[in-house]
């Protein structure tokens, strides 16, 4: 083998391995579908007025106490963690990074912002986010998205990785897309209805129209809804054929 062919082969191998690392599994984006969905979410959002709390009430969220909210979170988290266990135990697979990811406590936050978050120690969800979820399927998707960030190693990035990611919004957005995709599989594996879960993102756009087209780190609610609907179709296809519910085609 000539050195020229060898170096060409080496470059090709590096490019392929880089592709495999950055995008191990993710369906192609659907820009046309996202445009249509953005119009639908904008039309929906025009029905709601006032503060976020007002909008959530107009959307028809149940009045619940914090104790009731916590009581909803606990069984959903337990089912999710049990279903994700095979990924937690398998270190260095293309899906999970292992390392006790499934022992993260889930913390209920007394916050009125629509937020859920994962770091290297815990997963948190705010009161408003719990209220946005119209079903346990939707709540499972929120928690599973955060668990997916942990399993994919996003929460173990070093400080410099995170600083660099802030300058490169595509890194953060790609992380979000991967966490959405794996999260939906985790929710489905735990027995939740994947298609119903995706409605969360339409509700999110309806009460927070400022993020229908995304922000500097998050893809828009329209894009996320459309991508998750595709993933739900993929999951449904695999389920019908008795195929394992593992991300990827
Ligand atoms: Zn995320």
Is 130:69 a contact under the CB 8 Å cutoff? yes
Query: Would you say 183 and 141 are in contact if contact means Cβ atoms under 8 Å apart?
Result: yes
Categorize the per-residue pLDDT at 121 as very low, low, confident or very high, splitting at 50, 70 and 90.
confident
pLDDT band at 135 (very low <50, low <70, confident <90, very high): very high
The CA distances from residue 238 to 76, 133, 145, in Å, are: 23, 26, 20
What protein residues have CB closer than 5 angstroms to ion ligand 1? Answer: 176, 179
Position 137 scores a pLDDT of 98
Q: How far apart are CA 20 and CA 38, in angstroms?
A: 31
Grade residue 20 by pLDDT with cuts at 50, 70 and 90. very low
Q: How far is the CA of 151 from the centre of ligand 1 (A)?
A: 12
- For residue 54, report the distance from its CA to the centre of ligand 1, in Å: 25
| Average of per-residue pLDDT across 87-110 | 65
Per-residue confidence (pLDDT) for residue 1, from 0 to 100: 54
Looking at every residue in the chain, the average pLDDT score rounds to: 84
Give the distance (Å) from ligand 1 centre to CA of residue 149: 7
CA of 92 to the centre of ligand 1 (A): 21
Q: How high is the pLDDT of residue 172?
A: 86
What are the C-alpha distances in Å from 54 to residues 58, 60, 131, 200?
6, 10, 12, 18
Distance 148 CA to ligand 1 centre (A): 8
Model confidence at 201: pLDDT above 50: yes
Q: How confident is the model at residue 96 (pLDDT cuts 50, 70, 90)?
A: very low
241 CA → ligand 1 middle, Å: 30
Q: How confident is the model at residue 97 (pLDDT cuts 50, 70, 90)?
A: very low
> Which is more confident, 145 or 31?
145
pLDDT of residue 23: 44
Instruction: Say which residue the tokens 């459309």 belong to.
Output: 226
- Taking only the tens place, the pLDDT of each residue in 75-87 is 999 999 999 888 8
* 139-175 per-position pLDDT tens digit: 999 999 999 998 888 887 766 666 666 666 688 898 9
Q: How confident is the model at residue 92 (pLDDT cuts 50, 70, 90)?
A: very low
Rounded distance from Cα 155 to ligand 1 centre (Å)? 10
Mean pLDDT across 91-97 = 46
Ligand 1 center–CA 12 separation, angstroms: 32
pLDDT higher than 50, residue 100: no
What is the band of 63 on the pLDDT scale with cuts at 50, 70, 90?
confident
Length of the chain measured in residues: 249
* 114/26: higher pLDDT: 114
- Give residue 138's pLDDT: 98
**Average pLDDT rounded to a whole number, residues 28-39:** 91
- C-alpha 11 to ligand 1 mean position (Å): 32
What is the rounded average pLDDT of the residues 48-67?
88
């Amino acid at each position: 083998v000539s050195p020229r062919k060898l170096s060409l082969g080496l470059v090709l191998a590096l490019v392929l391995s880089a592709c495999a690392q950055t995008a191990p599994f993710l369906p192609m984006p659907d820009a046309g579908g996202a445009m249509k969905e953005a119009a639908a979410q904008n039309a929906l959002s025009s029905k709601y007025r006032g503060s976020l709390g007002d909008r959530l009430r107009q959307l028809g969220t149940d009045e619940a106490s914090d104790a009731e909210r916590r009581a909803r979170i606990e069984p959903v988290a337990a089912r999710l963690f049990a279903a994700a266990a095979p990924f937690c135990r398998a270190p260095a697979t293309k899906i999970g990074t292992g390392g006790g990811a499934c022992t993260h406590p889930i913390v209920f936050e007394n916050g009125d912002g629509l937020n859920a978050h994962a770091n290297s120690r815990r997963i948190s969800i705010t009161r408003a986010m719990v209220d946005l979820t119209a079903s346990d399927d939707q709540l499972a998707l929120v928690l599973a998205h955060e668990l997916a960030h942990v399993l994919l190693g996003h929460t173990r990035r070093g400080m410099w990785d995170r600083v660099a990611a802030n300058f490169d919004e595509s890194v953060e957005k790609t992380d979000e897309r991967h966490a959405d995709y794996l999260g939906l599989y985790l929710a489905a594996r735990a027995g939740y209805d994947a298609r119903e879960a995706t409605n969360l993102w339409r509700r999110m756009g309806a009460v927070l129209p400022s993020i229908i087209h995304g922000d500097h780190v998050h893809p828009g609610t329209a894009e996320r809804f459309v991508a998750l609907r595709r993933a739900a179709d993929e999951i449904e296809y695999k389920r019908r054929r008795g195929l394992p519910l593992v991300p990827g085609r």
